[in-house]
Amino acid sequence: MKKTALLWLLCAGLGLTGCSALPVSLSGSKTARTAAKETAKETDGETAKETKEEQPEETARETQACGEGTEETSLDDDPELKLALYRSTAETVQMEITTGLTTEYLSPLINYPALVRKDGNEQILEDENDLEELGLRELYTDELLAAVGDFDTEQLEIREDGTAIVGDPKLAYVVLGRDEYDYIGIEEFYCGG
């Protein structure tokens, strides 16, 4: 279990893009995330076996190096690993929100559907199309940019409900949480106003 945790942490710290077995998509690779979800949804053992056999040797090595095929560990079993992954995701979210210019890079960091609250109004982002339609100018308010930019990710704490706040809870922030596949991403935007 410790070897798996160390491998996950190492892969997360290095931001390796070939580590699709990580419970968090640090690389922003929508393809790796989608592939992992599709693999998790497969119920036909033969399909999974055929897919594994068709993997190129290089991809198979990357997958093994990132912990797939080793003993299964839940994030809830290792609080230090869980906190490290939440903090790593918070750093990625912080960087993307404060410097990001396109929805293409923000979208893989969102666990859809996501709630957006702004000026007393609520909107649900069902997918990347809804994000594109809303646009970053509407989402990235001055309050949100300042609150997320000033946030110290080393002070991030996971709340009892399994979520974490990045930003200023009194002004503007995003809420991180885990989806059914254990991907850590943005579940809610509180844009201020």
pLDDT in tens, 49-102: 444 444 444 444 444 445 555 555 677 789 999 999 999 999 999 999 999 778
For residue range 155-176, list pLDDT tens digits in order.
Answer: 999 999 999 999 999 999 999 9
- Which residues have CB under 8 Å from 102's CB, separation 6+? 136
What are the extents of the domains in the chain?
Answer: 2-73, 77-190
Second CATH level (architecture) for the domain 77-190 = Roll (3.10)
- Which residues have CB under 8 Å from 155's CB, separation 6+? none
CA-closest candidate to residue 5, choices 54, 68, 53, 73: 73
Tokens representing 161?
């409900």
For residue range 127-156, list pLDDT tens digits in order.
Answer: 999 999 999 999 999 999 999 999 999 999
Q: What is the per-residue pLDDT for 193?
A: 72
Q: DSSP per residue over 56-98, as a string? A: -HHHHHHHHHTTTTS----GGG-HHHHHHHHHHHHHHHHHHHH
